[in-house]
Amino acid sequence: MFFTSFAVLLPVLFVMILGYWAGHRGKFSADQVKGINDIVLDYALPALMFVGIVQTTRDEMAAEVPFLIVIFLAFVGLFIVVLLFSLRVRRHSLGAAALQANLVSLPSVAFIGTPIFRGLFGESGLVSITFATVLGLVTIVPLTVVLLEIHAKKVSGGETDRLSELVRKSLVTSFRKPMVWAPLSAVTLTLLNVPTPKEVDDMLELIGSATGGLSLFLAGLIIAAYRVRLSGEVIGNVLVKMSVQPLLMVAFVSTLAVDELLGRQAIVICAIPSAVLAPLLAPRYHVYESESASTLVLTTLTMIVTLPVAIFLTGR
């Protein structure tokens, strides 16, 4: 069974390694990598999410509510706990604490989760992936950006905007992203019981089908751009992200009696490596740069062991 679980990862690892090799050999420029990123995040993935949701029923969507609750607890709850620990125990700056909390609480659901879930759960797994992605985009991402903006203003000595204004700007930015408004539009149509024409679904599925391969190849390209620097803090980040968060999810799923299949999906989501957001934001704000890059690379390498274990243990 364990080898069967690992076999699900083989295609994923192959495409990521291919992307890493291409990035390491300098086959793609920074502009080309950005172009691939735009294709995945602004076109292919939103189309896939939209189709995945409109093909569900209202009853199936209602069944996802307990799943969303445990995802919220595992994402936002862990973010807040690590943020406070980083500020009060590690004595980090607000910006460093925000990035550390982001790294250990936000999985790379959009890039890595989609192809894995299609292999494990079929098309039905796309709904859970979509909801987890959107939840992260409207909670963890704005939280991180707001805290980084406050940090930057403090460092520069400039006047900080009101917290409410920072939150508003971050949320507006998030909701403008196709990854957010496309699935939310699909949710609205489903709740209103408004069918979409098959021709529309077919068109969106065609571009959406590019998501899996492109997202994994892109993940490999991004990882190739960073160097690993080991430290106690980086190792701690990896352990929290790849061990503590999945174990927390096991406790949440058991306590809140989440449906067996949705509970399994929630645990596997938490076993996915850190999202790429923190390493992208760190250079912009000149904080926690080495730790962010190293955590991203090491959680991705750790996935080779932890994800098959999570799949195996939840597959009974």
- Tens-place pLDDT, residues 207-216: 988 888 888 8
Residue 7 burial class via C-beta count within 10 angstroms: exposed 0-12, middle 13-18, buried 19 and up:
exposed
Phi, psi of 274 (to 5 degrees): -60, 150
Is pLDDT of 1 > 60?
no
Report the range of poorest mean pLDDT among 23-32, 118-127, 187-196: 118-127
Torsion of CA 227, 106, 33, 9, to 10 degrees: 80
pLDDT > 70: what percent of the chain? Answer: 95
- Average pLDDT of the residues in 184-210: 89
Has residue 22 got a pLDDT over 60? yes
Confidence band of 34 (pLDDT split at 50, 70, 90): confident
pLDDT at 158: 59
pLDDT (tens digit per residue) in 76-92: 999 999 999 999 999 99
Q: What is the pLDDT of residue 157?
A: 65
Integer-rounded Cα Rg, in Å, for the chain is 19
2-314 folds as Na+/H+ antiporter like fold (1.20.1530)
Tokens of 65: 């509510």
Q: Give yes or no for a contact between 180 and 139, defined as CB atoms under 8 angstroms apart.
A: no
The Cα 6–Cα 88 span in angstroms is 39
What confidence score (pLDDT) does residue 21 get? 94
pLDDT at residue 245 tops 90: yes
pLDDT at 7 over 90: no
- What is the per-residue pLDDT for 140? 93
Q: Is 195 helix (H, G, I), strand (E, B) or coil?
A: coil
Question: Whole-angstrom Cα distance, residue 111 to residue 218?
Answer: 8
Q: What pLDDT score was predicted for residue 105?
A: 97
Give residue 48's pLDDT: 87
Contact predicate 179/132, CB 8 Å: no
Q: Which residue has the tokens 């430290």?
A: 231
101: nearest Cα among 75, 77, 83, 74: 83
What are the b/e assignments for 151-182, b being 16+ CB within 10 Å?
A: bbeeeeeeeeeeeeebeeebbeebeebbbbeb
Structure tokens at 237: 């980040």
pLDDT value of residue 264:
92
